């Protein structure tokens, strides 16, 4: 009886305590994610990337990019974020960030040091900046401060600090896609690449493959790669 009182009972109490804490943390994380989804929905209620001015469309065509628009869905991106385990040393780049919805989700739901949305369309970047301002006004200034939107030529913009890159690459021309991938693999540090198109496994190794819903598809292949140099570190 003394053994039960001194050994079994404390162990039982500790076990119940740990289970309770785990359940609380899991519930808290689920609630936090649901809150983030609602925040994003509210911010983007009147902001979308589907319409462009004729000047903006002409500029994108001149750069060799399609002006068609689509977005990764919130739940689909959460699947990827669960796999990536982003921490406060990571810098996330979104090539083709549109009005910034995916980049904002990364800023809200991860500890990434910096989240950068790169976009060729001036119209969409202006809308993304407006969404970022709304995020700060809603009390998420710390998250907004980690979020940057830039109208940039994908092949010219420096990405020296990137550790994770998302390529919304469905409509990227082949030559642009090849040059962007080469730009990434030339970086000194290891980089994880999320792509909507396959990448040559000579330069990056496939880590995970998913089929996830997008705004334009019920199930699209999504690939997560890591640069070869990461495998050798």
CATH of the domain at 227: 3.40.50.150
In total, how many domains does the chain have?
2
The answer to pTM > 0.85 is no
Q: Are residues 28 and 77 in the same domain?
A: no
- 10-47 pLDDT, tens per residue? 555 545 454 544 433 333 344 455 599 999 999 999 99
Instruction: Give residue 4's pLDDT.
Output: 52
Shared-domain flag, residues 6 and 100: no
Who's near 77: CB < 8 A, 6+ residues apart? 102, 105, 106
How many Å apart are CA 97 and CA 84, to the nearest integer? 19
Q: Could you give the angle at the alpha carbon of 189 between the alpha carbons of 186 and 195, nearest 5°?
A: 65
- What's the burial of 57, exposed, middle or buried (CB within 10 Å: 0-12/13-18/19+)? middle
Please indicate, yes or no, whether residues 125 and 26 belong to a single structural domain of this protein.
no
**pLDDT for 13:** 56
pLDDT for the residue numbered 184: 96
Q: Are residues 104 and 207 in the same domain?
A: yes
**What is the pLDDT, as a whole number, of residue 30?**
40
| Residue 68 and residue 23 share a domain | no
Phi, psi torsion values for 94, nearest 5 degrees: -115, 110
Expressed as residue numbers, the domain containing 6 is 1-43
């Amino acid at each position: 009886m003394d053994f039960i009182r001194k050994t079994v009972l404390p162990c039982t109490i500790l076990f119940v305590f740990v289970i309770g804490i785990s359940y609380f943390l899991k519930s808290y994380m689920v609630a936090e994610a649901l809150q983030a989804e609602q925040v994003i929905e509210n911010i983007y209620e009147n902001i979308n990337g589907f319409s462009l001015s004729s000047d903006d469309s002409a500029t994108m065509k001149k750069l060799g990019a399609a002006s068609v628009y689509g977005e990764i869905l919130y739940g689909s991106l959460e699947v990827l974020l669960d796999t990536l385990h982003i921490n406060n040393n990571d810098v996330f780049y979104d090539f083709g960030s549109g009005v910034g919805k995916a980049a904002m989700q990364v800023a809200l739901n991860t500890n990434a040091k910096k989240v950068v949305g790169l976009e060729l369309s001036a119209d969409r970047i202006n809308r993304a900046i407006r969404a970022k301002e709304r995020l700060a006004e809603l009390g998420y200034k710390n998250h907004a401060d980690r979020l940057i939107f830039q109208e940039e030529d994908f092949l010219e913009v420096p990405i020296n600090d990137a550790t994770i890159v998302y390529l919304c690459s469905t409509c990227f021309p082949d030559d642009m896609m090849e040059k962007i991938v080469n730009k990434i693999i030339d970086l000194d540090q290891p980089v994880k690449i999320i792509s909507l198109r396959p990448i040559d496994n000579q330069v990056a190794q496939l880590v995970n493959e998913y089929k996830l819903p997008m705004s334009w598809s019920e199930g699209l292949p999504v690939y997560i790669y890591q640069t070869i140099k990461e495998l050798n570190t």
